[in-house]
Amino acid sequence: MEKCMTRYALITGASSGIGLAMAEALARRGRSLILVARQRDQLESIAIELTQRFGVEVLFRACDLGEPLRLSGFLLELEEGDRQIDLLVNCAGIGTCGPFLAQDWMTEQDLIEVNILALTRLCHAIGNSMALQGGGQILNVASVAAFHPGPWMSTYYASKAYVLHFSEGLRVELKKCAVKVSVLCPGPTRTAFFRTAQLDTAKLVDSKMLMSPEEVALYTVRALEKNRAIIIPGRRNRWRAFLPRLGSRWLTRTIAGMVNKAYCPR
């Protein structure tokens, strides 16, 4: 008799914010999970809690995705283990804000390593396994920032434009191997993101513009079930993604620069 193999959803950035809310929403639907982020203790307590609440298997792996060698080690472990991953959620991401030339280079490099390189490499490695196993689903987390340039957060906005375009391209390429690819473009969401990006959170914390990560995750899992290509939770955010198409690029980057500058403390 053929062994019934558990299939897992692997979520990066699962220790907080949108990644954590995705983990909870998927566990609620009975999915077994592999959680990835740097904070081991945090992952461990999330794994215990989700297992207790939803009776699903939750594995976790602490890994700094900004360290290519550590990511190689993790990918090797996945390859050697016999765990099938049929959903990859690339949610780990960081932001920086302020004048590009004044940024610490290592922080900018970290952003590119995590937001672009690690995400792309995970799609390559796990996308290949999915193709071999006859299908799967990938969700990459971009942002509404992906739809236009963002002065004073230039690398962050550009990294998310990469994620959007890369994911749309992959969606077409991987269709023939039954791997579905979607991209999530959230707008401002109440998470630790603003603090780590060193944005002026005092102006944002009470803002009605913020969605909760749980709202974002619920909208996203429903959209994933419908295999939506580009997932934008919230009507306001869908407008924000659409409006740059109407105006000139000059106008769009000028307005985005004014808004971002207001939120950057430097």
Judged by CB under 6 A, the residue of 39, 84, 120, 198 near ligand NAP is 39
Judged by CB under 6 A, the residue of 9, 10, 15, 46 near ligand NAP is 15
Under the binding rule (CB under 6 A), the answer on residue 219 touching ligand NAP is no
The residue range among 34-42, 46-54, 78-86, 127-135 that interacts with ligand NAP, by the rule CB under 6 A, is 34-42
For ligand NAP, the closer CB: 163 or 179: 163
Under the binding rule (CB under 6 A), the answer on residue 94 touching ligand NAP is yes
If one counts every other C-beta atom within 10 angstroms of the C-beta of residue 41, the result is 9
Backbone dihedral angles phi then psi of residue 173, each to the nearest 5 degrees: -60, -40
71 torsion bin: left (phi>0), alpha (psi -120 to 50), beta (else): alpha
Look at residue 183 and give its three-state secondary structure.
strand
For ligand NAP, the closer CB: 3 or 208: 208
- The residues pairing with 180 across neighbouring beta strands, listed in sequence order, are 137
* Spatial separation of the C-alpha atoms in residues 7 and 5, rounded to whole Å: 6
Under the binding rule (CB under 6 A), the answer on residue 93 touching ligand NAP is yes
Residues in the chain: 266
Least distance to ligand NAP from the beta carbon of 51, Å?
Answer: 19
Judged by CB under 6 A, the residue of 28, 38, 121, 261 near ligand NAP is 38
With b for 16 or more beta-carbon neighbours within 10 A and e for fewer, the 64-80 pattern comes to: bbbbeeebeebbeebee
Catalytic residues: 156
Residues near ligand NAP (CB under 6 A) are 12-19, 37-39, 42, 64-66, 91-95, 114, 141, 143, 186, 188-189, 191-193, 196
